Amino acid sequence: MTVQPYETQALLEQAWARQLAGRPDEAMALYREILQSGDQVQALIGLGQCQMEAKQAEAALDSFRRAAVLAPQSTVIRHMIDMLGGGGLPDRAPDDYLLWVFDGHAESFDAHLAALDYRGPQMIHRLVAGIWPEQPDRVLLDLGCGTGLNAPLFRRYASHIDGIDLAPRMLQQALRRGGYDGLYKAEAHAFLQRPPRRYDAVLATDVFIYIGRLEPLFTAAHAALNDGGELLFTVELGDDAEDVRLMPSGRFRQSDRHVRACAARTGFTLLATGDDVLRNEHGQAEAGRAYRLQKSA
């Protein structure tokens, strides 16, 4: 059956809805129906995602490569090829990829994280609970703040909290949640190079999973911190066989060795770590580690 052009968008919406509902087989059937009328970039991306979920890595890579032929300038597609081992190891996920992932899911993002039993904010909070005094003259930056999950935990410790994120719809959710004195649409490295103020602590939960090699960001954070300032963050913990690895999820894992080496090279002292399950995804526990670093004197 040939799909008429006016039917394509409706079928894409149906396929996406089934994909979000955890029905990849039904979604794949719809994407293939769309492809009968010719190659469609969105259908190929959706098909590749469903094939990844079905653990059909080679088929997914083929779908993404077909999409790349049609849209050779797409950084989103290039990152998908990279994460399946079809390219190199990028320094970080492209901005367009992050916007594509997060801006379209902002309204349902908190519910999605709750379903995964996501614990990132709690992991970094445990490293300062009972140590930081409450309500001091402390200025915090929430890097990649998303929908604002850090604000309720850290508001009591700060006189001022700024949040930044690339995705405007995520920032809208953070504004609704409240707890921030300033919210900025910005990429992390760029913001830290020209911050509106100096900070006493920078928080980053589930941010470095999209950055990869950490030394450039550590350097930028060091410059944006006051003397004695702290950097608190989580990583998806990899083993020491590789410093950084790009996973099929599109996220990076960093080894403890890499984190410690980058901290030492950029002028940070390691104060504490804490391990926990960062999230439960597809029935698998994702090992995470929280770090608390201090800008060395």
Give bridge partners of residue 280 from the DSSP assignment. 285
**Which positions ≥6 away from 121 have C-beta within 8 Å?**
149, 150, 153, 205
Do 255 and 115 lie in a common domain?
yes
165 touches 107 (CB < 8 A): no
Q: How many domains does the chain have?
A: 2
Domain span at residue 10 reads 5-88
pLDDT of 283 higher than 60: yes
Encode pLDDT of 9-33 as tens digits: 788 888 877 876 778 899 899 999 8
Instruction: Decide if 51 is inside a domain.
Output: yes
Under the banding of pLDDT at 50, 70 and 90, the label for residue 125 is: very high
Question: Which token pair is 62?
Answer: 């083929």
Q: What CA–CA distance (Å, rounded) separates 90 from 94?
A: 9
Name which of 20-24, 106-110, 155-159 the model is least confident about.
Answer: 20-24
**CATH code at position 31:** 1.25.40.10
Do residues 140 and 47 both lie within one domain? no
Q: How many whole angstroms separate alpha carbon 223 and alpha carbon 228?
A: 12
Question: What percent of the chain clears pLDDT 90, i.e. is strictly above it?
Answer: 62
CB neighbour class for 133 (10 Å; exposed up to 12, middle 13-18, buried from 19): exposed
Q: Name all contacts of 44-52 with Cβ < 8 Å and 24+ positions apart.
A: 44/70, 45/76, 45/77, 45/80, 46/12, 46/15, 46/16, 46/19, 48/80, 49/19, 50/19, 50/24, 50/25, 52/84, 52/248
Average of pLDDT values for 149-176? 96
**pLDDT on residue 292:** 98
**Does residue 94 sit within a domain?**
no
Q: In this structure, what CATH number is given to the domain that contains residue 257?
A: 3.40.50.150
Q: What is the pLDDT of residues 217-232, one digit of tens each?
A: 999 999 999 999 999 9
